[in-house]
A and B are shown apart, each in its own frame.
Chain A
């Protein structure tokens, strides 16, 4: 709070303002969807497929309907005429349409897929009744493994003749250039990497309450989502209802991480029941359901060929990847593969590049975006390759990276690739090398490190350091909306279309608007998450809210300020050039006359006579910030680990992130995002996994199976930052929400590889590196 742009008031932007959201939530006065129970609410439960792949022969709900408390059952036959398929918004023109329906339309393709739904008078009774819906299945062979799916002996959608639904191409230089680069290369490295399957696992599962207003016939859907406005549009399309008859509310949302950046079956089924029963219908996903019914993430395989010249310059990469997309294309299906293929080269020049990214259907839960989407996989691949090349060439890992890194002088830099929905990849600002050098220094990856490592190994301590540098797509469009309105009392209301789920928008958006209007933070109210309150918006995902939604809010506030100054010039009968905005007021330069925001807003309300100068009533402005391009944040992660070679246990001793997300609104909030992301990446690299049995049964069924990190598992995370504002919005913000998760797997696996180098280990996966898997890398006689 040291910057003082106007007057004596310190700026809020740049200061670690304490969160305004906290006091209410700390007292237990949150209002999450599970906390909402309109009078007469009844409860929905979902009959889910126990099989990975089967034909539905028959559904008999008669026993369920006779169960106490049960009010209704829906099967596919009941809704086929009313509910269209769930849209996928990131299909390529040549993608095969493999869309899911709200209830399985004759074939189930993953364990957990909704087959029927029922409603009962309470949650306990609804669960009791599930056994009463008898579904007869004819089992079909399941495809679990990516290679088998690509081979196509068993097809999920036989009508398409293949399990590969999309192949995304990225070509930089063309085939001839690729061939030439490899022909001219002094060294060619070929590796295959695997990345396992995760669940995002927010602490609040999903949930919905659907209600029909008996007077207006409008549908209200309260749902734990990251994008209520998009849900309104999707629901309108699926049910054929005009958007004006749908209100979607995202109340307090207990984390999302991408799992709630999807449109789901239950968001269709609950409204269908509500229409039939004329009662509010509620469904709260339980944790066992969450493990199969909410989106999965990450699972990919990558094969890369890398051409390197004798001096260590990486001249070309030729890459193929396969994403295990699961049983259907969900709302955001191709985005992970698109990002991985567009961003694989990270911060390195690599002038020639070819990628083919295949999206493959498998008999698993649909895979979607999860914090970082396709970035963490790409970073793991590229950063492992840099270490593999450095080791082979006998080069210092940091020096080799610096040699290949894009320098500030080379920015902006059109990378020649594109990301679906987001657009062309043109790196904007940053100093990637400076951030890498800083992180390496902080973690202790100095010229002395090798000797220290040797000394420790001689004492039986196996230490390793890994670094991972990344550039990530943030602040994507299409746009975000904001309304800034000053009431007659001079209090400011901000409406944002970016609906948060823990990011602290109320605090950061207040900071932006309070600074722009030079007023107290407490005079700003931020509203979000209700499509009847905020007319339009996009949502919170892809590290976009502060940059896009924040820019929209601040721009709207700037327009309000301009209007206030114009009005003041009329009312004070003074030349606008003689007015300045200071301390929340239009002040006559060099005089004591002024008009406060409250006075100006009061003079502009509808109960005034026509405003002078033909100004329209009210101090209010609407602004859409339309992103002209993607802003790219960047960072280097560095991890130091100790491996117990008698047990395979990994102790993360130190963890450093040096990051650059442009202009920082609130350092504490940015740091919190980094912390949370790193620990999600750490969890995925060390414990978290959804393994599948060969028959397609998922083996992680709850949080006792799917292990999330707790406080004892995490090191102290040290951060440092740089600020390279982006020119893509007036205020310089980029995104910070995902970088933590993006860098962690690469840094940790590189650290593990460094620690176990004496055993000749060659790591080409993100594990998870559980103790038994680590110990299996170490020959017993050498431990």
Chain B
């Protein structure tokens, strides 16, 4: 029915070529065509942040980009954050601080924090909050995600005293 458009992009360091319908979302290219199902679709309209990936160094909602728009880009998904190596300090901090429960929003959070810390290894509290505000988590109440982000950013992690 519609023409297929060529897309050439690098995902997690691996070059890919695909022919996609214009309306295919980047999230679906990653999930359905490349099998990278770690990128999750929680709302499909750009609010929840679960589908966040890193595109040319910037965190983006992969449900708000057409796959064809990623042509020529370099994308890192949650699968590529650590690759086959040990988990990164961001991932470790989430584990250390019990910063996840069901894990559905977590890939987006990992990608956003990774982009933040790659751009600025010592972000301010405001920058951390600004980044985390782009994510909905229904399990953790954000308490331990904030702790994890602070640990990953090398900031003191508040031990909340009763």
The reply to whether A30 and B98 contact each other, CB–CB distance below 8 Å, is no
The reply to whether A26 and B94 contact each other, CB–CB distance below 8 Å, is yes
The reply to whether A502 and B103 contact each other, CB–CB distance below 8 Å, is yes
- Which one of B3-11, B35-43, B54-62, B115-123 contacts A? B35-43
The reply to whether A720 and B162 contact each other, CB–CB distance below 8 Å, is yes
How many angstroms between the C-alpha atoms of A671 and B147 in the bound complex?
A: 14
A-side contacts of B158, CB under 8 Å: 716
CB distance from A355 to the nearest CB of B (A): 32
The reply to whether B129 and A672 contact each other, CB–CB distance below 8 Å, is no
A-side contacts of B142, CB under 8 Å: 675, 679, 709-711, 714
Closest to A702 in B: B45
Q: Is B34 an interface residue (CB 8 A)?
A: no
Interchain CB contact (< 8 A) of A255 among B44, B82, B138: B138
The reply to whether A676 and B138 contact each other, CB–CB distance below 8 Å, is yes
Q: Is B69 an interface residue (CB 8 A)?
A: no
Q: Is A94 an interface residue (CB 8 A)?
A: no
A residues 1-36 near B (Cβ < 8 Å) are 16, 18-19, 21-23, 25-32, 34-35
Q: Is B71 an interface residue (CB 8 A)?
A: no
How many angstroms between the C-alpha atoms of A671 and B78 in the bound complex?
A: 27
Given contacts A255-B138, A672-B140, A714-B142, contact A203 B87 (CB under 8 A): no
The reply to whether A676 and B98 contact each other, CB–CB distance below 8 Å, is no
The reply to whether B98 and A16 contact each other, CB–CB distance below 8 Å, is yes
A36-70 to B contact mask, C-beta < 8 Å, 1/0: 01000000000000000000000000000000100
How many angstroms between the C-alpha atoms of A473 and B142 in the bound complex?
A: 26
Q: Which secondary structure characterizes the binding site on chain B?
A: loop
How many angstroms between the C-alpha atoms of A755 and B38 in the bound complex?
A: 45
The reply to whether B101 and A503 contact each other, CB–CB distance below 8 Å, is yes
The reply to whether B43 and A702 contact each other, CB–CB distance below 8 Å, is yes
A residues 252-271 near B (Cβ < 8 Å) are 252-255, 257
A-side contacts of B44, CB under 8 Å: 286-287
Q: Is A424 an interface residue (CB 8 A)?
A: no
Given contacts A28-B37, A34-B41, A703-B45, contact A202 B138 (CB under 8 A): yes
Q: Is A425 an interface residue (CB 8 A)?
A: no
Interchain CB contact (< 8 A) of A26 among B43, B91, B145, B146: B91
How many angstroms between the C-alpha atoms of A25 and B140 in the bound complex?
A: 15
CB distance from A669 to the nearest CB of B (A): 7
The reply to whether A203 and B38 contact each other, CB–CB distance below 8 Å, is no
Given A28-B81, A201-B138, 17 extra CB contacts under 8 A: A26-B100, A26-B103, A27-B82, A28-B38, A30-B37, A32-B37, A124-B23, A203-B105, A204-B104, A255-B138, A672-B143, A675-B142, A676-B101, A702-B45, A703-B45, A711-B133, A719-B162
How many angstroms between the C-alpha atoms of A210 and B29 in the bound complex?
A: 23
The reply to whether A203 and B104 contact each other, CB–CB distance below 8 Å, is yes
Q: Which residues of A contact B (CB under 8 A)?
A: 16, 18-19, 21-23, 25-32, 34-35, 37, 68, 123-124, 201-205, 252-255, 257, 284, 286-287, 442, 501-504, 656, 668-669, 671-672, 675-680, 702-704, 708-712, 714, 716-720, 740
The reply to whether B136 and A703 contact each other, CB–CB distance below 8 Å, is yes
Q: Is B151 an interface residue (CB 8 A)?
A: no
Interchain CB contact (< 8 A) of B129 among A204, A671, A711: A711
| Interface pairs A-B: 9 shortest CB-CB | A28-B38, A502-B102, A254-B104, A675-B141, A679-B141, A28-B78, A25-B103, A35-B37, A502-B101
CB distance from A128 to the nearest CB of B (A): 9
Which of A284, A656, A679, A711 has the largest number of chain B CB atoms within 10 A?
A: A711
The reply to whether B103 and A710 contact each other, CB–CB distance below 8 Å, is no
The reply to whether B96 and A708 contact each other, CB–CB distance below 8 Å, is no
Closest to A682 in B: B141
A-side contacts of B98, CB under 8 Å: 16, 18-19, 668-669, 671-672
8 A-B pairs with C-beta separation under 8 A: A25-B106, A26-B94, A257-B138, A672-B101, A675-B142, A680-B138, A710-B134, A710-B142
The reply to whether A287 and B45 contact each other, CB–CB distance below 8 Å, is yes
Closest to B135 in A: A710
Interchain CB contact (< 8 A) of A204 among B31, B42, B134, B144: B42
Q: Is B70 an interface residue (CB 8 A)?
A: no
Closest to B79 in A: A28
Given contacts A68-B1, A711-B133, contact A27 B102 (CB under 8 A): no
The reply to whether B160 and A28 contact each other, CB–CB distance below 8 Å, is no
A-side contacts of B43, CB under 8 Å: 287, 702-703
Closest to B38 in A: A28
B-side contacts of A255, CB under 8 Å: 101-102, 104, 138-139
How many angstroms between the C-alpha atoms of A710 and B49 in the bound complex?
A: 11
CB distance from B114 to the nearest CB of A (A): 11
How many angstroms between the C-alpha atoms of A545 and B42 in the bound complex?
A: 26
The reply to whether A28 and B100 contact each other, CB–CB distance below 8 Å, is no
A-side contacts of B135, CB under 8 Å: 710-711
Interchain CB contact (< 8 A) of A718 among B129, B145, B162: B162
The reply to whether B162 and A32 contact each other, CB–CB distance below 8 Å, is no
How many angstroms between the C-alpha atoms of A252 and B31 in the bound complex?
A: 16
A-side contacts of B107, CB under 8 Å: 28
B-side contacts of A503, CB under 8 Å: 101
Interchain CB contact (< 8 A) of B145 among A27, A656, A711, A740: A711
How many angstroms between the C-alpha atoms of A669 and B100 in the bound complex?
A: 10
How many angstroms between the C-alpha atoms of A679 and B77 in the bound complex?
A: 28
The reply to whether A704 and B45 contact each other, CB–CB distance below 8 Å, is yes
Interchain CB contact (< 8 A) of B91 among A27, A203, A656, A702: A27
B-side contacts of A675, CB under 8 Å: 140-144
How many angstroms between the C-alpha atoms of A390 and B28 in the bound complex?
A: 58
How many angstroms between the C-alpha atoms of A671 and B129 in the bound complex?
A: 21
CB distance from A710 to the nearest CB of B (A): 5
Interchain CB contact (< 8 A) of B42 among A30, A35, A203, A712: A203
B-side contacts of A284, CB under 8 Å: 41
The reply to whether B162 and A203 contact each other, CB–CB distance below 8 Å, is no
B-side contacts of A34, CB under 8 Å: 31, 37, 40-41
How many angstroms between the C-alpha atoms of A673 and B114 in the bound complex?
A: 26
Interchain CB contact (< 8 A) of B77 among A28, A205, A668, A704: A28
The reply to whether A676 and B141 contact each other, CB–CB distance below 8 Å, is yes
Closest to A507 in B: B98
CB distance from A441 to the nearest CB of B (A): 10
A-side contacts of B1, CB under 8 Å: 68
B78-96 to A contact mask, C-beta < 8 Å, 1/0: 1101100001000100111
B-side contacts of A718, CB under 8 Å: 160-162
A-side contacts of B81, CB under 8 Å: 27-28
How many angstroms between the C-alpha atoms of A544 and B136 in the bound complex?
A: 26
How many angstroms between the C-alpha atoms of A201 and B42 in the bound complex?
A: 10
Which of B32, B98, B134, B137 has the largest number of chain A CB atoms within 10 A?
A: B98
Closest to B161 in A: A718
Closest to B37 in A: A35
A-side contacts of B31, CB under 8 Å: 34-35
A-side contacts of B106, CB under 8 Å: 25-26
The reply to whether B79 and A32 contact each other, CB–CB distance below 8 Å, is no
The reply to whether B140 and A27 contact each other, CB–CB distance below 8 Å, is no
How many angstroms between the C-alpha atoms of A475 and B64 in the bound complex?
A: 43
Closest to A286 in B: B44
Which of A27, A30, A286, A710 has the largest number of chain B CB atoms within 10 A?
A: A27
B-side contacts of A717, CB under 8 Å: 141, 143, 160
How many angstroms between the C-alpha atoms of A718 and B40 in the bound complex?
A: 31
A-side contacts of B79, CB under 8 Å: 27-29
B-side contacts of A672, CB under 8 Å: 98, 101, 139-141, 143-144
Closest to B94 in A: A26
B-side contacts of A27, CB under 8 Å: 38, 78-79, 81-82, 87, 91
CB distance from A370 to the nearest CB of B (A): 11
The reply to whether A710 and B105 contact each other, CB–CB distance below 8 Å, is no
Q: Is B48 an interface residue (CB 8 A)?
A: yes
Q: Is B110 an interface residue (CB 8 A)?
A: yes
The reply to whether B37 and A26 contact each other, CB–CB distance below 8 Å, is no
A-side contacts of B40, CB under 8 Å: 32, 34, 203-204, 254
How many angstroms between the C-alpha atoms of A597 and B24 in the bound complex?
A: 54
How many angstroms between the C-alpha atoms of A504 and B144 in the bound complex?
A: 15
B-side contacts of A442, CB under 8 Å: 162
How many angstroms between the C-alpha atoms of A257 and B141 in the bound complex?
A: 13
